[in-house]
A and B are shown apart, each in its own frame.
Chain A
Amino acid sequence: MLILLRDRGGLAILFLMPMAMITIMALIQDAPFRDYQELKIPLLLVNNDTSTLGRTIENGLKTSKIFEITQQKQSEAAAKKLVKGGDYEIGIIIPANATELLNAKVNQFVSKKLSAAGLSDSVPATTATVTGDLNLVIFFAPDTKKSFKASVLSTLHQFTSKLETQTLLDYFSKELSKNDNAAPAQTQTKIDDLVGFKEINTVETPQETLQLNSVQHNVPAWTIFGMFFIVISMAGSIIKERDDGSYTRIRTMPGSYVTVMAGKISAYLFICLIQCVLMLLVGIYILPLLGLPTLVIGNNMIAIAIVAISCGLAATGYGILVGTLFSTHQQSSTFGAVSIVILAALGGIWVPVYVMPESMRMLSEISPLYWALSAFHKLFIGGGTVAAILPYVLKLLLFFIFTLSGAFLFNKTKKQ
């Protein structure tokens, strides 16, 4: 007991890490446990209609509290690019003449129905010159799940249906008030959708038609998790070398600290890469045997190798830092394991980032596991190129340099 109490570092880890874990996991899993109505979905709204319909839809979206709306004047192509790039989950474009089209359609519809009821004389013949379909253009991010799309489309349908009904009723009331002989039963006729939805696909290549299914998400996610778990073994090895004096001997030998660490990094990186290849092979060959979809990794093997190497380097760099900062194997293994679980949770390994609350989505940006997972998703689901993964790869490599520098500086301080 006394020994345990004297180990302040170990005690701090034992108490603080679970507290951090509880807080972060509760925050992350808050969203999936809530109704979708409580979520704030990032939505790009391009409202080109300055009249009633545009304003009504805009206000409806705002008051729904489902969406986190950003309004921009964008072309269809630019809006599509922003949604495809992951800046927004949904993009909606309201056409410039939407109100005019709606009024013309309502006029035509009411004329048709009243005419059928023998009240054609009471309704002025439509003079509208506006023709064509009234479609709101909608984009979804390529990795959006079908169920999520259906839910969002249903919500949008609710808005527009309400608006259509309201417009029709107003029109009918106005026209019928001119003729007391009108038969109210006519309004029970089925009202066709006057406002339609034109969903534009953001996918451009066959690979992009892939949906984020269990295999496409879990195989890369847990591959990255497994690669990062090498931190525990690596940190343990560094502490053991320090405890048994091997590290002291290494420091008396020629060759800089970086050279010595390079040997260690190469060995562990090799293990990480083998681990990565094996996990991907499981996704391709073993999981289909169990009735699951086959993992599709695309054809860009160079890009996959770049992501795997960058991820492996980030993991080994973190392992060296943990092994350098902590003095006992117990401390390093506890901190290493819990910190990886936290970074994995933040990084979308357990729960996809897009269903997390906004604050957690922002925090996920600091997780190297998120960078690696995003890069794999770009390749496996988005059919991305080396250019598409470059920002994530650079972040992983910077993390590697940062952790290695941290360990180097800590060692240098200890030598003083």
Chain B
Amino acid sequence: MSANAAIHVNRLVKTYKGADHPAVDSITFDVPKGAIYGLLGPNGAGKTTTISILCGLLVPTQGDVSVLGLSLKSQLEEIKKRIGVVPQDIALYPTLTAFENLQYIGNMYGLKGKSLKENINKQLEHFGLIENAHKFVGNFSGGMKRRINLIAGILHQPEILFLDEPTVGVDVQSRNVITEYLHEINRAGCTIVYTSHLMEEAENLCSEIAIIDTGTIIASGQPKALIAENNSANLEQLFLKLTGKKLRD
């Protein structure tokens, strides 16, 4: 394990009940502090299972995970305070306003009072949502919901941010705002672990990637170096070269 690792994963295995094969099969990797780490792979490769284990949503079958030097098995509550999660689903309450949703989530992280309100307003302003702060989230467009979803994950200024396909189904403008912001918080010291099917976005965003297929890591490193090593034009070509063109379930 590198001393510079924000996350250390050692021989991680996850087999779901009744499954013939493990969803994650003895993977080992480190996420360096300050990195934007992309977990890429085709459908059913094991990306979401891996990220769910790292967030404490699933219990691994075997293996060790440490996050920020803390054991996932014994120090999960401490880890939860220091990480942020942006799930793939729009995990917001549609009958609450944007402000109320963020206030509730802030409260869950122990944030309260004036500083929380100022923080919420600052983030809403940044993402162009301040005028809709007191409108019900249920009436928002897909892009607006995605932006609120992102704010909910970073409101408490986490040291590591996990994002599961944060830009799926949004327009180019919203995607641009989101990726710009991810660069901005990364520069401020936040480590980001990210999954996506959008190879161009991953190539531009990630400082390191790991390509997973059938539960194992088949390639990892800096995107540009991997592309060069495999004589590929871009990340998408590399991805197809490594994972094949066969359709996945």
Q: Name A residues whose Cβ lies closer than 8 Å to a Cβ of B.
A: 244-256, 415-416
Question: Which 6 residue pairs spanning A and B have beta carbons closest together?
Answer: A245-B89, A245-B91, A249-B91, A252-B85, A254-B80, A253-B108
Residue among A253, A255, A415 with most chain B CB within 10 A: A253
| Cβ contacts under 8 Å, A246 to chain B | 91-93
- Residues of A within 8 Å of B92, CB to CB, are 244, 246
A339 vs chain B, min Cβ distance (A) = 27
Contacts A244-B89, A244-B91; A415 near B81 (Cβ below 8 A): no
A248-B57, A415-B57, A415-B59 are contacts. A253–B91 as well, Cβ < 8 Å? no
Query: Which B residue's beta carbon lies closest to that of A260?
Result: B108
Listed A/B pairs (26) with beta-carbon separation below 8 Å: A244-B90, A244-B92, A244-B94, A245-B88, A245-B90, A245-B91, A246-B93, A248-B89, A249-B85, A249-B105, A250-B108, A251-B57, A252-B55, A252-B56, A252-B57, A252-B80, A252-B85, A252-B87, A253-B80, A254-B77, A254-B81, A254-B108, A254-B109, A255-B77, A256-B77, A415-B57
Residues of B within 8 A of A248 (CB): 57, 87, 89, 91
Is the Cβ of A249 less than 8 Å from the Cβ of B110? no
Interface of A is mostly: helix
Does B152 interact with chain A (Cβ within 8 Å)? yes
How far, in Å, is B119 (CB) from chain A's closest CB? 16
Contact with A along B124-164 (1 / 0, CB 8 A): 00000000000000000000000000001000000000000
Does B83 have its Cβ within 8 Å of any Cβ on chain A?
A: yes
Apart from A249-B105, A256-B77: 16 A-B pairs, beta carbons within 8 A: A244-B89, A245-B88, A245-B91, A247-B91, A249-B85, A249-B91, A249-B152, A252-B56, A252-B87, A253-B105, A253-B108, A253-B109, A254-B110, A255-B108, A415-B58, A416-B17
Please measure, in the bound complex, the distance between the C-alpha atom of A249 and the C-alpha atom of B77, giving whole angstroms: 14
How far apart are the CA atoms of A255 and B57 in the complex, in Å?
A: 13
* Tally of A-B Cβ pairs under 8 angstroms: 51
* B contacts with A, residue count (CB < 8 A): 24
Give A416's nearest chain B residue, CB to CB: B59
Q: Contact residues of B with A, CB < 8 Å?
A: 17, 55-59, 77, 80-81, 83, 85, 87-94, 105, 108-110, 152
Q: How far is the CB of B205 from chain A (nearest CB, A)?
A: 22
Give the residues in chain A near B91, CB-CB below 8 Å.
Answer: 244-249
Within the complex, the shortest CB–CB distance from A216 to chain B, in Å, comes to 39
Q: Which residues of A contact B105 (CB under 8 A)?
A: 249, 253
Give the complex CA separation of A246 and B93 in angstroms: 7
B109: A residues at CB distance < 8 A: 253-254
Nearest CB of chain B from residue A247's CB, rounded to whole Å: 8
Closest to B110 in A: A254
Instruction: Give the residues in chain A near B93, CB-CB below 8 Å.
Output: 246
| A415 CA / B59 CA spacing, docked (Å) | 6
**Least Cβ–Cβ distance between B22 and chain A, in angstroms:** 14
Tell me which residues across on chain A come within 8 A of B87, comparing CB atoms. 245, 248-249, 252
B residues in contact with A250, CB < 8 Å? 108
Q: How far is the CA of A415 from the CA of B56 in the complex (A)?
A: 9
Residues of B within 8 Å of A251, CB to CB, are: 56-57
CA distance A90 to B170 in the complex (A): 74
A193–B11 Cα distance when bound, in Å, is: 95
Residues on A with beta carbons closer than 8 Å to the beta carbon of B77: 254-256
Q: How far is the CA of A180 from the CA of B83 in the complex (A)?
A: 113
Please name all residues of chain B whose beta carbon is closer than 8 Å to the beta carbon of A415 when the two chains form the complex: 57-59
Q: For A244, list chain B residues within 8 Å (CB).
A: 89-92, 94
The answer for the CA separation of A253 and B162 in the assembled complex, in Å, is 13
Closest B-chain residue to A259, C-beta based?
A: B108
Q: What are the residues of chain B within 8 A of A255 when measuring CB–CB?
A: 77, 108
Q: How far is the CA of A246 from the CA of B92 in the complex (A)?
A: 6
Distance in Å: Cβ of B113 to nearest Cβ of chain A: 18
**Which B residue's beta carbon lies closest to that of A249?**
B91
- Distance in angstroms between the alpha carbons of A247 and B92 in the assembled complex: 9
In the assembly, what is the distance between CA of A27 and CA of B93, in Å?
A: 44
How distant is A46 from chain B, measured CB to nearest CB, in Å? 62
The distance in angstroms between the C-alpha atoms of A245 and B80, with both chains bound, is 17
Residues of A within 8 Å of B59, CB to CB, are 415-416
* Complex: chain B residue closest to A253, CB-CB: B108
Q: How far is the CB of B200 from chain A (nearest CB, A)?
A: 26
A-side contacts of B83, CB under 8 Å: 252
Closest chain-A Cβ to B5's Cβ sits at a distance in Å of 21
- Cβ distance A281 to chain B, nearest Cβ, rounded Å: 29
- Kindly report which residue of chain A lies nearest to residue B56, judged by CB atoms: A252
B56 CB to closest chain A CB, in angstroms? 7
A247 to B108, CA, bound (A): 13
**Which residues on the B side are within 8 Å of A247 (C-beta)?**
91
Question: CB-nearest residue of chain B relative to A248?
Answer: B87
Query: Which residue from chain A places its CB closest to the CB of B77 in the assembled complex?
Result: A254
Complex CA gap A107/B83 in Å reads: 98
Specify which chain A residues have a CB less than 8 angstroms from the CB of B56 in the assembled complex. 251-252
Nearest CB of A to B138, in Å: 10
CA distance A296 to B92 in the complex (A): 46
- What are the residues of chain B within 8 A of A253 when measuring CB–CB? 80, 105, 108-109
B133 to chain A, nearest CB (A): 19
Q: Across the interface, name the chain A residue whose C-beta is closest to B57.
A: A251
Point out the residues of chain A lying under 8 angstroms from B81, CB to CB: 254
CB A298 to nearest CB in B, in angstroms, measures 40
